Structure 1
Amino acid sequence: MPVFWLADVDKDDVLLVGGKAANLGELLRAEIPVPDGFVVDARTFREFIQKTGIQEKIYSLLQDLDVEDTEKLETVSRQIREIIETTEIPEEIEKEIREAYRKLCEEEGREVYVAVRSSATAEDLPDASFAGQQETYLNVAGEDEVVEKVKKCWS
């Protein structure tokens, strides 16, 4: 299942849902007011690149990449982003994302504005910092926009 509700995740799920979602789940468990929400787990991204066949394209671009060559690194990064953003999400994954957003809207009785954010699964480790390096999209409304922003976060 690619979508987990924040109320169902906690710190033990950090490798699956990332630090931000795991911490929001912890806040909910502590009965601290947090808006309802859901998270698309890390396995879903892997499923996306495998089922669509883009995993091999991405791996071939990364093979023998010299990370010290910043110009080449930027070029390959742009290419990977373009591959991800132009690849259709498999129907079963997209359906679950749309259904989760629809459920949020039904609970509120209106179309809701959401934040779509990346969260590295190693983000909050003592020896790793990814703060400010990933995209955040605020005030996202509508199923199509949510799906598009999920893809942009993946890219």
Structure 2
Amino acid sequence: MTIVNFTPWSALLGGILIGGGALLLLIVGGRIAGISGIVAGIGAQPDRGWRIAFVAGLVLVPFVLFGSGLAEAPSLVRFSAFKLALAGLLVGIGTRLGNGCTSGHGICGMGRFSLRSIVATLVFIAAGIATVTLLGLGG
């Protein structure tokens, strides 16, 4: 495997922004920035306003960044719509089975030294490595 665009400064900035946002939500709102929990609570929770704003930001900011040319993402045209839908479905199933997603466990849970989150994140990473290896997508 080769790294085509190694961008340590943008990766560092992104990590600081994600970690800072998660910390701010925890300190100010007393909430964990786990995306699956935030999305799941939109319909049932009385505090849905901040949840809708959070998810809207997750959806709209990439459109602004990619639309303005400030950010680039690899093209997904080589994958069929079926494979992309299947991948999304499997991620959703894994999120339910793991009682959370990579943002909740990997960022917030590990930051709190939660053993459950550390184990869940290791399983996420192992499953990703296995998937990429088995499907031959690592090259």
| Structure-2-length-normalised TM-score | 0.31
TM normalised by structure 1 equals 0.28
- Higher-helix-fraction structure: 2
